[in-house]
Amino acid sequence: MSGKYVIEEKLLRFAAPALYKKMVETFSRYNIHPFDIHGTVVKSEDGYEIILRFSQSFSQTVTTTVSFEQASNPDEEVVLFFEEIAEKCKTQLISDYYKMIKL
């Protein structure tokens, strides 16, 4: 082996289904479809690092870390994070839409 440490991103939907469900519920209140955001996780010793990508080419990236308990039972802190990102995503999607219309 080469001794390289490989960080493996897994889809949020499969790695932490309860967290994904809460994200989808939160984003749907902002009329954002699950296909408008790409969520992945990287598992660490004390939890998951959540990586959310959005915008027209998924170039905007936001990350946070949650414990295994929060991943199984999303709490208010997780919901607030998703709401904050949903607002940013909504703003970005509107901006991308108007840029596309001007072309």
CB atoms inside a 10 Å sphere around CB 32: 20
95 pLDDT band, cuts 50/70/90, is confident
Question: What pLDDT is stored for residue 17 in this prediction?
Answer: 95
> Which one, of 11, 32, 41, 44, lies nearest residue 85 by Cα?
32
Q: What is the pLDDT of residue 55?
A: 83
What is the pTM (predicted TM-score) of this model? 0.83
Dist CA 84 CA 92 (whole Å): 13
What are the pLDDT digits (tens) for 52-61? 999 878 888 9
Q: How do the domains of the chain map onto residue ranges?
A: 10-102
